[in-house]
Amino acid sequence: MDISNYLYLSVILFTIGATGVLVRRNAIVIFMCIELMLNAANLALVTFSRVAGNLEGQVASFFTMVVAACEVVVGLAIIVTIYRSRRSASVDDASLLKS
Amino acid sequence: MFNQSLALGQTATPEAVQFWILAPIAVIAALGMLFMKKAVHSALLLAWVMVTLAIFYIAQDALFLGIVQIVVYTGAVMMLFLFILMLVGVDASESLVENIKGQRGASILAGLGLGGLLLSLVARASVNQPAAGLKLVNQTGNVQSLAGQLFTQYVWAFEVVSALLITAALGAMVLAHSPKPAVRNKQRDLSIARFRGKSLADAAGLPGSGVFARHNAVDVPALLPDGTPAPTSISATLKARGDVISPAPFALEHSEEVEE
Amino acid sequence: MRTSSLLVYLIALPLFSSALLLLLGRIADKWGHILATLITASTFVIGAYEFMKMQGQAGESRAVTQKLFEWISVGSLKVNASLLLDQLSICFVLLITGVVTLIHIYSIAYMSHDKDRRRFFAFLNLFIADMLLLVLGDSYLNLYIGWEGVGLASYLLIGFWNHNPTYAVASKKAFVANRVGDVGLSLAIMICFAQFGTVSFEGVKAGAHGASSAALAGIGAMLLLAACGKSAQFPLQSWLGDAMAGPTPVSALIHAATMVTAGVYLISRSNFIFDASSTARLLVVIVGAITLLFGAIIGTAKDDIKKALAASTMSQIGYMILATGLGPIGYAFAILHLLTHGFFKAGMFLGAGSVMHGMDDEVNMRKYGGLAKLMPITAVTFGLGYLAILGVPPFAGFYSKDKIIEVAFNAGGIKGILLGGAALLGAAITAFYMTRVMVMTFIGAKRWKAESHPHESPILMTLPMILLAFGSVASGFLLSKGSALVHWLEPVVNSQNVEEGKPLMPALTVSLLALGVVVIGAAFAIIKYRTVSDVAPEKVSEFTIAARKDLYQDILNDRLLVAPGTLLTAGLVRADDRVIDGGVRFVGSFLGATSDALRKVQNGFVRSYALLMLAGLVITVIAVWVIGA
């Protein structure tokens, strides 16, 4: 099997995640789409690591996971805070920059 | 196609089967995540995608990463998502009507553009050499090799990332902490409350425990003027535990002679 | 070449007095005119002195120069501010300074009631300075300065009473028509510089032999255009009639004796150009012939005495221009006619002014009649001028005009017969309308109102007229005796080497022919104007109507030049507003509109911003890929 298939899959998942960020309104679902994008990138990294025959890709993927975890923590905390004050989790409500 | 698979990739057929079963399901799950009305459904579908990816990692000899993907990502991160969803409103379902004009069409267009772009880039950038595979590297085991990399070549990044983790945890605590409105009764408040109570029986405070001058232990109730023990002089906890001693042995024998 | 240090005073003295009178203002009111007259008299004295010195020299060395300063030295163009007084210039200098002194004396009395008399004299002196600079300049560029200056001075003098809108418009018309001619002079100077690398008369004369015929024809045509403008020749003659709006001394000076003769001077001075280009010469004779008939025809229908005299000037200068186109010998006769014309026309204009002065500034000849008895001196001097212009021997015009007709006939072939015939016809019509003027003004029954009491003019006015009458009588004879003027001008116009062809008819025949047509014309006029109505008749022939309207020249100018010009400017103004200003306004409103449209992109929604980021990323990657490929 062509190893590029993993890369194609990664691209497709990335695209789906990117489109999801633009289309969904719920802040948490947007966040989940971002996580999907990160995971797709991780898949690509692991595939490249296999192709290259060293562990560099896996190390990068590892760090990506850690950072993604931190990001999720802080991001969800922020969403909770915003939800507490606004009682709504829709990103369309934060439109104060409207000219 | 068959020649291609022999020339490049050189992955065995079982892997192909596995890929071609799981990958479409993952894609469908991702698309489903996009289209679900309820956020909880989206979260669960994402969890499925992550599990699929973990299987792929393991299939590609990234054992440590595959397990970590399940444990950390699916287990911790997605569960965190679900907890927050529960906080925010599990039943909240989003209406699928788009209220920004042209956003949906433009987004799909942009997404397709991005996808097409990246696909064509990947297709043009052919993987020139056969996949080396990780057999050699994993000779001493994947975890050991990975650890060897992490703690020698990437130790600085490792330390920084750990600092990041601590910071993130602190940040989450600070952000998520909801300050309760603490009503701490001070001494003055208590005094005022005593005098404004229904009866002034306890205005001067509860009677102290112990028999006057004979045994002033905490677990011995005080004696009322008619010789009966006062129930309010003993802590309720001791009473509940049954540690209260009767005050009879400590009562004065010649109480009448004293009265004369 | 002899040098003199006096030439500059000819120009500097009048210029200084003009400036003084203008700057001192009311202070100089009491004595300004006296000073101006004395200054002009002194220029005449200087001119006469120089003339005396010239007479003592041999022919070739009579010219005198004076270099004032180096004026232009740019690249290969070097022009000095120098003055040249040769045989041609001295004729003009004497004519100008002499006639102008007489006119100054006349104006002291004529303008005595005008509170702006001082300003009038200042402008007169300015005119003198510029006219003298014109005839004394030694290069085309120096001439041009004087040329422009006299145009300015004539504008100031024609519009002297500019509180009257008609007069102001007339002065403007004169200036504009002059300007068209000035364009011709500028172009001629430019072509000279391009061809010869120099604009001085000597330089151009030296280079004229080797120049291409196209260049010579071009220079000649442009110089002719300039002369037409200044001398009121066809097609730039429409301003001369209206220029009679100025005070009569102005008409006498500028439009009889001096300024309008500047064109003749220019052509005579440029004889080397015209002699070398037969095309230019042909144009000159055509213009001259047309104008002499044109002026004569117009003159027959004018009831305003000054306008009739103006038409007569136009016609007589047509004679002079015709003469200058007839070859080297023609220049001398043109100058001869110019000098005699200066006397009798100025005299007649001053006479007209005297009549107007006596008739309370009435100019309509139909309101005159029988004035000879009441204004005898005026009548006699005017009459002598009249006889001179008719060409009756032995008065001045006989010598000059007959010579021109003779040279015209001798030009050869069909051209000669046509030109000679035109000149004869012109003479006949001249006789007709001048007799008409004489009869309507001085002879016959009186037609003036009872209130006006015509009286003879004061001595200050009659003295110049008498002196000019002497000129009308004697100048022709004196200048022609022994071909004096012809020989005098030979070194300048190179007329000595021309061999005379066989004349068409003997000189005596020409003179008798001319005299004959003059008598016929005069008799016709006397018969027709025995009785004159005091209002202009309505039922007249088409011809008369056309002549009254200046042969439709004004209407033609209006339709051909003014109307398209007005359309053009209106169109340009509209284009400026719509296109240029509109473009600027459009830029502003366009920016505003696009800003308004773009503002809507900032809708405050995070998702649309995210969409823009993604789209930008995709486009950037595609662009990098395509460019890199």
pLDDT at C607 over 50: yes
How high is the mean pLDDT of chain C?
86
∠ CA B11-B17-B21 to the nearest 5 degrees? 130
Phi then psi for C468, rounded to 5 degrees? -70, -30
Please enumerate residues of C whose Cβ is less than 8 A from a Cβ of B. Answer: 603, 605, 607-608, 611, 614-615, 617-618, 621-622, 625
Contacts of B114 in chain C (CB under 8 A): 614, 617-618
Of B33, B13, B78, B32, the C-alpha closest to B51 is: B78
Q: Nearest CA of chain A to the CA of C619: how many Å?
A: 15
Interchain CB distance below 8 Å, C618 and B107: no
Banded model confidence at residue A29, pLDDT cuts 50, 70, 90: very high
pLDDT at C213 over 60: yes
Q: How many other CB atoms are found less than 10 A from the CB of residue C627?
A: 7
Minimal-distance CA residue of chain B relative to C614: B110
Of C240, C289, C244, C285, the C-alpha closest to C427 is: C289
Contacts 24+ apart (CB under 8 A), B71-74: B72/A65, B72/A69, B73/A39, B73/A65, B73/A68, B73/A69, B74/B47, B74/B50
Count helices and strands in chain A by DSSP H and E runs: 3, 0
Residues 34-63 of A with CB under 8 A from B: 35-36, 39, 42-43, 46-47, 49-56, 58-59, 61-63
Side chain identity at residue B205, one-letter code: G
pLDDT at C1 over 80: no
Task: State mean pLDDT over B120-146.
Answer: 75
What are the C-alpha distances in Å from C338 to residues C89, C317, C591? 13, 8, 70
Which candidate from B103, B111, B121 shows the least CB-CB separation from C608?
B103
Query: Tell me: the pLDDT tens digits for C309-337?
Result: 998 998 999 999 999 888 888 888 888 88
Q: How many CA atoms lie within 13 A of B122 on its CB side?
A: 19
**C-alpha–C-alpha distance, residues C214 and C54, integer Å:** 38
Give the pLDDT score at C497. 59
In this complex, the chains that touch A, judged by 3 or more CB pairs closer than 8 A, are B, C
**C-alpha–C-alpha distance, residues B23 and C214, integer Å:** 94
Residue C544 CB contacts under 8 Å (≥ 6 apart), including other chains? C300, C301
**C-alpha–C-alpha distance, residues C163 and C150, integer Å:** 22
Contacts of B111 in chain C (CB under 8 A): 614
Tell me if residue B87 falls in helix, strand or coil: helix
Three-class SS of C215-244? HHHHHHHHHHHHHHHHHCCCCCCHHHHHHH
- Catalogue the E-assigned strands of chain B: none
Its sign, for the CA torsion B65, B68, B70, B73, is negative
H or E segment to which residue C3 belongs: strand C2-3
Give the pLDDT score at B256. 52
How high is the mean pLDDT of chain A?
89
Burial class (CB in 10 A: 0-12, 13-18, 19+), C593: exposed
Of B57, B22, B23, the C-alpha closest to B134 is: B57
Q: Nearest CA of chain A to the CA of B16: how many Å?
A: 6
Residue labelled with tokens 């947007």? A30
Task: State mean pLDDT over B35-45.
Answer: 90
Tell me if residue C42 falls in helix, strand or coil: helix
Lowest mean pLDDT among A23-27, B50-54, C289-293, C603-607: C603-607
**C-alpha–C-alpha distance, residues B255 and B246, integer Å:** 18
Phi then psi for B190, rounded to 5 degrees? -65, -45
Banded model confidence at residue A45, pLDDT cuts 50, 70, 90: very high
Task: State mean pLDDT over C257-276.
Answer: 86
Query: Tell me: the pLDDT tens digits for C360-382?
Result: 888 888 888 788 888 888 889 99
Give the pLDDT score at A35. 95
Q: Do B65 and A55 contact (CB within 8 A), yes or no?
A: no
- Tokens read off for C136: 């004394």
Task: State mean pLDDT over B31-60.
Answer: 93
**Interhelix angle C484-493/C459-480, nearest 10 degrees:** 80
Q: Which residues pair with C80 in a beta bridge?
A: C70
Banded model confidence at residue B1, pLDDT cuts 50, 70, 90: very low
Interchain CB distance below 8 Å, C606 and A25: no
pLDDT at C193 over 50: yes
Of C160, C181, C58, C150, the C-alpha closest to C114 is: C160
Q: Do B118 and A12 contact (CB within 8 A), yes or no?
A: no
Q: Do C236 and C180 contact (CB within 8 A), yes or no?
A: yes
H or E segment to which residue A17 belongs: helix A4-23
Higher pLDDT: C86 or B158? It is B158
- Tokens read off for C575: 């284009």
Judged by a CB distance cut-off of 8 A, whether residue B170 touches chain A is no
Banded model confidence at residue A70, pLDDT cuts 50, 70, 90: very high
**C-alpha–C-alpha distance, residues C389 and C344, integer Å:** 7
Query: Tell me: the pLDDT tens digits for C216-256?
Result: 888 999 999 999 988 888 888 888 888 888 888 888 888 77
pLDDT at B132 over 80: no
- Among A10, A15, A21, A37, which would you mutate to test the B interface (most chain B Cβ atoms within 10 Å of its Cβ)? A15
Give the pLDDT score at B6. 43
Higher pLDDT: C360 or C168? It is C168
Lowest mean pLDDT among B113-117, C36-40, C99-103, C361-365: C361-365
pLDDT at C151 over 70: yes
Higher pLDDT: B97 or C247? It is C247
Q: What is the dihedral of CA C495, C496, C497, C499, to 10 degrees?
A: 90
Its sign, for the CA torsion B11, B12, B16, B19, is negative
Give the pLDDT score at C301. 85
Q: What is the dihedral of CA B61, B63, B68, B73, to 10 degrees?
A: 40
pLDDT at B192 over 90: no
What are the C-alpha distances in Å from A94 to residues A25, B86, B97? 11, 22, 18
Query: Tell me: the pLDDT tens digits for C116-135?
Result: 888 999 999 999 999 999 99
Banded model confidence at residue A81, pLDDT cuts 50, 70, 90: confident
Contacts of A7 in chain B (CB under 8 A): 122
Of C150, C163, C176, the C-alpha closest to C18 is: C150
The C2-3 sheet, strands edge to edge: C2-3, C64-74, C77-85
**C-alpha–C-alpha distance, residues B242 and B217, integer Å:** 15
Contacts of B57 in chain A (CB under 8 A): 43, 46
Q: How would you classify residue B131: left for phi > 0, otherwise alpha for psi between -120 and 50, otherwise beta? A: beta
Of C369, C232, C208, the C-alpha closest to C287 is: C232
Interchain CB distance below 8 Å, C618 and B103: no
Give the pLDDT score at A14. 96
Counting one residue from chain A and one from chain C, the pairs whose CB atoms sit within 8 A come to: 30
Give the pLDDT score at C580. 84
pLDDT at B50 over 90: yes
Tell me if residue C90 falls in helix, strand or coil: helix
Higher pLDDT: C459 or C554? It is C459
To the nearest whole percent, how much of chain C has pLDDT over 90? 17
pLDDT at C412 over 90: no
pLDDT at B2 over 50: no
Burial C270-295 (b: 16+ CB within 10 A, else e): bbbbbbbbeebbebbbbbbbbbbbbb
Burial class (CB in 10 A: 0-12, 13-18, 19+), B27: middle
Give the pLDDT score at B259. 52
pLDDT at B260 over 50: no
- Tokens read off for C428: 């006949």
Minimal-distance CA residue of chain A relative to B102: A23
Task: State mean pLDDT over C495-503.
Answer: 63
Contacts of C614 in chain A (CB under 8 A): 18, 22
Give the pLDDT score at B4. 43
- Catalogue the E-assigned strands of C24-76: 64-74
Query: Tell me: the pLDDT tens digits for C540-558?
Result: 777 777 777 777 777 777 7
Contacts 24+ apart (CB under 8 A), C449-456: C449/C367, C452/C359, C452/C360, C452/C362, C454/C355, C454/C358, C454/C359, C454/C371, C454/C374, C454/C375, C455/C358, C455/C374, C455/C375, C456/C354, C456/C358, C456/C374, C456/C375, C456/C376, C456/C377, C456/C378
- In C391-506, which ranges are continuous DSSP H helix? 396-409, 413-442, 459-480, 484-493
Contacts of A96 in chain C (CB under 8 A): 604
Q: Classify strands C77-85 and C64-74 as parallel, antiparallel or unpaired.
A: antiparallel
Burial C41-58 (b: 16+ CB within 10 A, else e): bbbbebbeebbeebeeee
Interchain CB distance below 8 Å, B103 and C611: yes
> What is the complex's ipTM, to 2 decimals?
0.92
Give the pLDDT score at B5. 41
pLDDT at B220 over 80: yes
